[in-house]
Chain A
C-alpha cells in the first residue's frame, strides 16, 4: 500500500458548494445591476465600486494579519462582496475618501471586531453605509442624475431620489424599474436586481423566504395605507421599486451571517424588515428606511433563531 489510508467519520461525500463558491455566486448575481449602473452612472459607478472593493479587501487583510494575527482569508470573496454591496449603496459621485471611511467602518468595526467572517451581528456593508449616511448626510443624499452624467464623476449634476418627500409620485414607474432615476449606484435598476435574485434562488444560494416576505409585506402594508389615505402614502409600486428596497430585500437582508436559520424564522425576519421599512419611510424623518430596518432586524436575529425552530420530524400536533 503506497499511501496510508485516511480515516474520518461519515459522511465521506461532500456537496459542491463552498464559501467562496457561494460568495462568488452572489457577486455573479450582482453583475446585471452593476452593468445597469455603469450604463446610467458611467465612470463614477466604476470608480466608486473599485475603490470600495479595494479598501474592503485591504482592510480585511491588514486587520486579519496584523491585529487578529490569523491567516487572512480574503480569497473567500466575502470582503469583495461587502465592498460591492457598500458601493451599491453609495451615490456614484461620492468622494473616494468617504468610500474609504465607509470600508473601514464596514470591515473594521462591523466585521473584524466581532471576530471576522461568521461572527458579526450586523451586516457590514449596511453598517458602513449607515455610518456614512449619518456622518456625511449631504454627500450621501445628493445623487447624480442618470445618463447625462455618465462621463462626469465628482462634478456630476445631482438630483434627489424619487423617495424624498417632494419627489414622491412624480417619477415614472417604468423608469424606476429600468433604473433611469437618481439613487445609489446599485439600487436603481429593480429589474436587474430581480434577475440577480432569481439567479440566486435557482442556484440555491438563498431561499425565497426573505425576499418574498419583505416585498410582500411592503406591498400589502403600503397598499393598505394608500387605500386609506393616498396623501400619506403613494402608489405601492413606488415603494417596491424605489430606493434600496429591491437591493436590500434580495442582497442585503439575505446575508447569511446576519439572517435567521430556519424557514419560519426567515419569514418572520422578512416581515419585520418590511414593516419597519414602511414605517420609517412613511413616518420617519429619513426618506429611506431599508438600511435601518435591516440593521434593526439583524439585532433581533438571535432571538428569532431561539424562538422559531425548524419543525421537528414526527412532531405532529395531535388533533
Chain B
C-alpha cells in the first residue's frame, strides 16, 4: 500500500515539476521586453480610451509618450495628467490650453419647424447620409445622439425637450470624441475659460440669411452686426456665418446683445444688470449655471 502512495506522490510531483519547468522556459523564451515606464505612464492616464489624443487607447498613448514625449497631450486628462506623465518620464510638461466642447446649434424644436419625418436607423451618421435632416436646415444638429453614445464621460446628453445635446461642463474633458462623431460638425472644442464661461456663435448654417431664417428662427443670418460691434476683431463672417475666434475673444458679450436672431450664445455668466460694463462681474455664478440652458440666455435679451 505504501508503495502505491509513494509512487503516486512521486509521479504527480514529477509532473508538477516538469510542468513548472516548461512554463518557466516558455515564459522566459517568449517574454516581451517592455519599457517599465509604459505601465507607469499608463497608470497616470484616465483610462477611458476616449481616443481624444489620436491614439487607439490609453496604453497606445503611453507607449507613444515613452518613445517621444514632445507635443503629446492627453486631452481628457489635461495639464494635471500630463504633469504626472512628465514626472514619470523626468521631463518638463508644457501646459496646453484646456478645451471644452460647445454645441453650435440652437435649433430647438420650437425654433426649427419639422419638414419631414426621418424613419431610418436611429443614428446621426445614417440620417446625415440619407438627407439634410428633418428640418429646413441642412447644417444643424440632427439630435439622434451620436455624440452622447461616444462620450466616455457622460458629459454630453441630448435634451429631449429641445432635441439638442447639452454639455455638462463639469464632466467634459475636451477629448473631442463627440466632435469626431458628429456628422454635421456642429460640436466644436473651444478654449476653456474660467468658470466655464462661453461666448460663441451657436449656429453652423451657411445658407443665405433669408433661407436660414426661414428654416430656423435662431439661425445666424450672416448680417455681420456682431463683427462690427466686436471691439477685439474676434468675429469674422464667412459664407453667411459668423465665427468668434476664441483666442481673441475677451468675453465682453457685446456681440450677444447685437445679434438680431440670438444665434450668439453666452453660457455661465451671472445674470446681467442693466447697462453692465464689459468686465465680468465678480464671481458669484451659481453652481447650477454650469448646466447650460437656452432659457437662461433668452431671459437676458
Contacts and interface: CB of A to CB of B under 8 A. Distances in A.
Are A and B bound to each other? yes
Interface of A: 4-9
A8 B116 contact: no
Contacts of B116: 4-7
Nearest to A7: B116
Contacts of A6: 116-119
Given A6-B119, A7-B119, A7-B134, 8 more contacts: A4-B114, A5-B116, A6-B117, A7-B116, A8-B119, A8-B120, A9-B126, A9-B129
Interface in B96-117: 114-117
B117 A4 contact: yes
B130 A7 contact: yes
Contacts of A9: 120-121, 126, 129-130
A6 B120 CA distance: 10
Nearest to B132: A7
25 contacts: A4-B114, A4-B115, A4-B117, A5-B115, A5-B116, A6-B116, A6-B117, A6-B118, A6-B119, A7-B116, A7-B117, A7-B118, A7-B119, A7-B120, A7-B130, A7-B131, A7-B134, A8-B118, A8-B119, A8-B120, A8-B130, A9-B120, A9-B121, A9-B126, A9-B130
A18 to B, nearest CB: 17
Which of A4, A5, A6, A7 has the most chain B CB atoms inside 10 A of its CB?
A7
Interface residues of B, number: 13
A8 B115 CA distance: 14
Contacts of A4: 114-117
Nearest to B115: A4
Contacts of A5: 115-117
B185 to A, nearest CB: 21
Nearest to B118: A7
A9 B120 CA distance: 6
A5 B116 CA distance: 5
Interface in B107-157: 114-121, 126, 129-131, 134
A4 B131 CA distance: 15
Nearest to A3: B117
A48 to B, nearest CB: 43
B142 to A, nearest CB: 12
A9 B118 CA distance: 9
Nearest to B129: A9
A9 B119 CA distance: 8
Contacts of A7: 116-120, 130-131, 134
Contacts of B114: 4
A4 B114 CA distance: 8
Contacts of B134: 7
Interface in B29-82: none
A68 to B, nearest CB: 21
A5 to B, nearest CB: 5
A7 B134 CA distance: 8
A9 B130 CA distance: 6
Contacts of B126: 9
A5 B115 CA distance: 7
A268 B129 CA distance: 40
A14 to B, nearest CB: 12
A6 B127 CA distance: 12
Nearest to A5: B116
Contacts of B129: 9
What 8 A-B pairs have minimum CB-CB distances, sorted nearest first? A8-B119, A8-B120, A6-B117, A9-B120, A9-B130, A7-B116, A5-B116, A4-B117
Nearest to A1: B115
A104 to B, nearest CB: 35
Contacts of B131: 7
Contacts of B121: 9
A8 B116 CA distance: 10
A4 B136 CA distance: 12
A7 B138 CA distance: 14
A8 B118 CA distance: 6
A96 to B, nearest CB: 44
Contacts of B119: 6-8
A4 B116 CA distance: 5
Contacts of A8: 118-120, 130
Contacts of B120: 7-9
A11 to B, nearest CB: 11
A119 B250 CA distance: 56
B29 to A, nearest CB: 31
A5 B118 CA distance: 9
A7 B127 CA distance: 9
A193 to B, nearest CB: 40
A63 B117 CA distance: 34
Contacts of B118: 6-8
A5 B134 CA distance: 10
A4 B115 CA distance: 6
A5 B135 CA distance: 11
Contacts of B115: 4-5
Nearest to B133: A7
A4 B134 CA distance: 10
A233 B247 CA distance: 87
A127 B226 CA distance: 70
